[in-house]
Amino acid sequence: MMDRNVGDHQIEFQPIGRRGLCPAGETLLDCARRLGVDLASLCGGNGKCNGCRLRVLEGRLSEVTPAQQEVFTPEELGHGWRLACQTYPHSDCKVDVPPEGLSAQQRLQVEGREIDISPDSPIKAVACTLEPPSLVRPVADAENLIEKLDAFSPEHFDINILRELSTRLREWNWRLTAHLRNRELVAISPPGTRSMGLAVDLGSTKIAGYLMDLATGKKLAAKGIVNPQISHGEDIITRINFAIRSPDGQKRMADLIKDTLMSLAQDLCSEAGSETGDILEVVIVGNTAMHHLTLGLPVRQLALSPFVPGVSGDLNVKARDIGLDFAPGAYAYFPPNIAGFVGADHVAALMATAGEWVHGNVIVLDIGTNTEISLINRGKITSVSCASGPAFEGYHISSGVRAAPGAIEKVSLSRGDLHYQTIDDAEPIGICGSGILDAVSQLFLAGVLNSGGRLQKGSHHRVVEKSGCLEFILVPQKKRRRDTVISITQKDVREVQLGKAAIQAALEILLAQGNIAATEIDKIIIAGAFGSYIDISNAVAIGMLPGLPLNRFHQVGNAAGTGARILLLSAARREEMKNLLTRIKYLELGGTPQFSKAFTRACLLGPYNTGPDAAGR
């Protein structure tokens, strides 16, 4: 608990019921974040994204800023609506966070295939009963335990274990479970304690955490949250620039991740009835930039030609050395990166899907803010990455929301009739990635958008003009609780075009390099939360995916998360992964004229050119 100082105000966030102190000079947004209330702010708190709307039910506030006057009507302001990033409490307050402002209920991002492996964690739990020392046998406590662990040839006790060993041995009456990682003692616990590990898929936008039982391989809890670094830029390059240019930027980025991982671990542990101190190992996968920012490694060279990582091999780092407070001697294991931005998350996705690879040509496609694509062909793997932007995660879209209840996830426009479906059939709050893709594709097929992506005036009664720009109304004002419509703007369409063009162009070049026509692809494995929920036909219709028989597409959910769990649970799979890596060739697309040309062409909506002349062959 924080001590209350002069100028601190007590803030209560409803309906979550979280309370805490807000010191003078801290906005409601900063306060919410510090207290673990995940407000959906995207713009870094400068009043631009309107993601941090909330309603103050009780309490005095700072004056309304111009940014807020633009967002809210006087009546809404009168009812206490504010942007949390622009509001400083002047007394104790009670605030209400609307469902669309919270990420806690977000679904999708943690789902992935169940895994079926024999757990073979590098951590072995050994039950021991020690003989208490005596004047006749005045053996030191560590050496007393080493004797019992003789079969495991223990070489090293983590210093933190030594710091508790003598006290615990006596407390536990000389009975304990020793947790050995290779030949190092990393934790001790009372007899019968569960061995737990944490697997993390650290995406640019979303973070998925899985608390696993290391002995049984069972999933104990899972949760997805937003990557808080997003407040310093939605794409990787912006974040790298922040890390390089801001004073302490590198450290702030690492601290954001550290705090978020600890809070994620706490939530998972309390769901599982455990404590973070019982987490014996954490496996973290992310793209190269996330990997470096989490470890506190320099990122400048990643953003400059020849785009090299600081390190590409796998790393075993003490969890405490990256600020994670788990079991006393716990390690964080970072699987290897491939090259460029193709990081351990893609390695994990490959590991998770390797069992589904067939003879012939297989594509593994992990769509996210950064998209990685691998072509597997005759035992060789070629990997590329491209910046597809956050549109498919619901960001950078005027009515975009994450995939929370009430998000429009499916859209169809059949003979002019609009239908949409929201998550959990809740009242619509906005549109999420799969809904945006559907909408653009359906509008294109209905002729509301032309192939250049332009909204056509008069093509549909829902196409309206607002401040001189056209937009397509999905949900008119009257149906919504709040006074804004849900629409697809011209700018939204452009964002989708940019994202799909990056993916399409990267795929085209990858195939061209392998001398393979799109029609020769035998299987496309689509990983990632967004990829699991998209309507393939709609993605094919605009050219994001090649026009192949639908049974060649396999949507596998969060494969990176699944791979992280596999690597957490199995030492043997970590070895297999190293073999896999030797087969991977990385292809750098960054700044090549070939990519720019393919990208420009791919901005057009319409089917993918699957013929042999694709990508300039």
CA–CA separation, 120 and 113 (whole Å): 19
310 part of the interface to a copy of itself, by CB under 8 A: yes
295 part of the interface to a copy of itself, by CB under 8 A: yes
Q: Quick one: which of 5, 118, 305, 551 contacts a copy of itself (CB under 8 A)?
A: 305
CA–CA separation, 472 and 488 (whole Å): 5
Q: In whole angstroms, how close is the CB of 442 to a copy of itself at the nearest point?
A: 41
Helix/strand/coil (H, E, C) string of 218-244?
CEEEEEEEECHHHHHCCCHHHHHHHHH
312 part of the interface to a copy of itself, by CB under 8 A: yes
Residue 135 or 550 with smaller CB distance to a copy of itself: 135
303 part of the interface to a copy of itself, by CB under 8 A: no
Q: Looking at residues 576 to 595 of the shown chain, list those that interact with a copy of itself (rule: CB under 8 A).
A: 586, 588
163 part of the interface to a copy of itself, by CB under 8 A: yes
Q: Quick one: which of 1, 6, 135, 151 contacts a copy of itself (CB under 8 A)?
A: 135
Q: For a copy of itself, which stretch binds (CB under 8 A), given 256-264, 335-343, 412-420, 529-537? A: 335-343
Q: In whole angstroms, how close is the CB of 162 to a copy of itself at the nearest point?
A: 5
358 part of the interface to a copy of itself, by CB under 8 A: no
The 8-class DSSP code of residue 570 comes to B
Q: Quick one: which of 58, 131, 164, 575 contacts a copy of itself (CB under 8 A)?
A: 164
Q: Residue 298 to residues 204, 240, 262, 289, 306: CA-CA distances in angstroms?
A: 17, 9, 23, 10, 15
Residue 164 or 575 with smaller CB distance to a copy of itself: 164
339 part of the interface to a copy of itself, by CB under 8 A: yes
Nearest C-alpha neighbor of 440 from the set 547, 421, 458, 448 = 448
CA–CA separation, 261 and 226 (whole Å): 11
142 part of the interface to a copy of itself, by CB under 8 A: yes
CA–CA separation, 49 and 613 (whole Å): 42
Nearest C-alpha neighbor of 411 from the set 401, 400, 421, 423 = 421
DSSP string, 270-292: HHHT--GGGEEEEEEEE-HHHHH
Q: Three-class SS of residue 455?
A: strand
Per the CB < 8 A criterion, the answer to whether 102 and 84 are in contact is no
Residue 296 or 335 with smaller CB distance to a copy of itself: 296
306 part of the interface to a copy of itself, by CB under 8 A: yes
Residue 88 or 307 with smaller CB distance to a copy of itself: 307
170 part of the interface to a copy of itself, by CB under 8 A: yes
Q: For a copy of itself, which stretch binds (CB under 8 A), given 136-144, 439-447, 468-476, 521-529? A: 136-144
Residue 309 or 557 with smaller CB distance to a copy of itself: 309
Respond yes or no on whether the N-terminal peptide bond of residue 428 is cis (omega within 30° of 0).
Answer: no
C-alpha 486: how far from its chain's center?
25
Structure tokens at 403: 């995939």
Site of interaction with a copy of itself (CB under 8 A): 133-135, 138-143, 146, 156-157, 159-160, 162-167, 170, 295-298, 300-301, 305-313, 315-318, 321-322, 337, 339-340, 586, 588
